[in-house]
Copies of this chain bind each other. A is one copy, B any other.
């Protein structure tokens, strides 16, 4: 399989994703999931931020915005406001005055992520009732906007004079970023400018407040996203200052003295800011470190800036960071972030299965990063990784009924350990209904609702098919239809009708050992390029087969083990199918694999349980057995039980 290590940008071949409004997905695998998000997740979230879900932690989102609207009105009227503390990350009824802000400091983002998901969903699936709900939420948001454009319920309710005084921890710029992304998506879907105008007003305030000019704060987001959000706002409005502001945030990060120390009056500016990727100027960063979600959001913003400014130096940081993730820090499931401590990347090759973090949101962010990298440099490696994340960790984040979610996506779970071992208490052996810190479910909603953006890209000469999701698509130079059973059997038919002679670039999946393409093609950087001069039909067969995958022996947790994969899917075994003590199973690498739908039966052995804790070694007493594998994303849908991705060989 081809792996390129192109270290500079392929400027002639920059591409851009095709907008959602031009994509109509109809896919035997994905349509059900997209529809679940529309019918289950989006309505559920709406109930959740109204605090109407019994047994779930409260969001307080609606009540915060209502309080902030009152405060905003009082400010306009010049009334004196009560002041509440702004020193805690989290407030609930017990530790806060009932009139003060409640929930997490970043709670506002729930609204914005929901609006974004709604926008994506409305792009292809008009729904007046949902639109009405969105308008109601947008009204709540706009009512909370101050005259200077500021929107943040935490500070507006508790103490507006403290705005922008804790940039490192208190997520104002993060919430702003999600507001912008929500506003852009909603405008793109509906043409309704109301939220977009509010976001632009706030963006103008951000540009006035933060920057390199005298009197501005030389700060940058504690939790990144702002950077890529500002680029989206620039893309939509053409307002160059938004792009420049994003570049400022990128360039300023990690300079000494570190702003995060300066704002705490720690003048040396020598604190450890690895967690926020502010340990080094970004152009010097080559190792993916710190909070994994923040990291990939930052790297996505860096890629945006590199592309927009033709900045090869910045790109070389991006590719260095990408290489580090792909080659040293990526779980086979597309998960990233190997440690719960700081929800962070661990060191190279430290990829424990039973102590993974692998946050759903981090894999979503990795897909953001992948798409941007592929749009700079059309090499299959980027969407190969995106595919790994999409079909495994990201899908695993949601239950098959769309009603419960994983925050962490472990590769090995023993429910007894999650209960009895404090090191594993962060691990939920079954999906939860909702989270107080509800970042993952809305993030899932927005990526699944916008899946098309990660599938298809274009430039003047080429249409790129990055993910084989069935859809009808209008690109600038061609209409095409993908009829795909890729997830089931690796077969895809493409019907394309170009307006001029173009190239069709088809990603050859990393897992594919031999493929058939009905037309003449040329391979470059992992894509098959086909010249399309007229209306054509292309048949693809990637021939997925069940095969064992070895993880590098640099990864201590996986020596002597293998994982099973087929096509884009990584498989796992569960106790419900294979009995307790999954570690006693061993797969026979010379055995056969029998497939039944998406289930794979492998030949293997089960060791007889040892009677003594220690005994002289002798060849294990094994009984041949069939080991039943299911796709990883489907695990934990049949109750609490043991699971493992890696099985001994």
Contacts and interface: CB of A to CB of B under 8 A. Distances in A.
Given A339-B423, A423-B355, A612-B552, A350 B617 contact: no
Contacts of A416: 347
A613 B350 contact: no
20 contacts: A330-B613, A339-B421, A339-B423, A346-B420, A346-B421, A347-B421, A350-B417, A355-B423, A547-B616, A549-B616, A550-B618, A551-B613, A553-B581, A553-B620, A555-B613, A556-B583, A559-B584, A560-B560, A562-B617, A589-B617
Count of chain copies:
2
Nearest to A606: B553
Contacts of A342: 422
Interface string A587-598: 001000000000
Contacts of A548: 616-617
Contacts of A620: 553
Contacts of A350: 417, 420-421
B414 A556 contact: yes
Contacts of A341: 421-423
Contacts of A613: 326-328, 330, 551-552, 555
A607 interface: yes
A609 interface: yes
Interface in A235-251: none
Interface string A553-567: 111100111100000
Contact of A610 (B550, B607, B612): B550
A352 B572 CA distance: 22
Which residue, A327, A341, A552, A618, has most C-beta atoms of chain B within 10 A?
Answer: A552
B583 A551 contact: no
Interface string A159-177: 0000000000000000000
A256 interface: no
Interface of A: 326-328, 330, 332, 339, 341-342, 346-347, 350, 354-355, 414, 416-417, 420-423, 513, 547-556, 559-562, 581, 583-584, 586, 589, 607, 609-620, 648-649
B421 A560 contact: no
A473 B416 CA distance: 50
Contacts of A607: 553, 559
A620 to B, nearest CB: 8
Contacts of A618: 550
A417 B551 CA distance: 19
Nearest to A648: B560
Given A416-B347, A559-B583, A422 B339 contact: yes
Given A341-B423, A420-B346, A583-B559, A549 B614 contact: yes
Contacts of A649: 617
A409 B330 CA distance: 31
Contacts of A583: 553, 556, 559
B584 A553 contact: yes
A5 to B, nearest CB: 13
When A and B form their complex, which 3 residue pairs have the shortest distance between CB atoms, in order from nearest? A548-B617, A552-B610, A341-B422
Given A550-B614, A613-B551, A420 B347 contact: yes
A387 to B, nearest CB: 13
A551 B648 contact: no
Contacts of A561: 560
A161 B416 CA distance: 45
Contacts of A617: 547-550, 562, 589, 649
A438 to B, nearest CB: 25
A416 B355 CA distance: 17
A610 B584 CA distance: 26
Which residue, A339, A416, A423, A555, has most C-beta atoms of chain B within 10 A?
Answer: A423
Given A350-B420, A423-B355, A553 B610 contact: yes
Which residue, A513, A610, A649, has most C-beta atoms of chain B within 10 A?
Answer: A610
Contacts of A616: 513, 547-550
Contacts of A615: 549-550, 552
A105 B131 CA distance: 64
A221 B406 CA distance: 43
A620 B550 CA distance: 9
Contacts of A586: 560
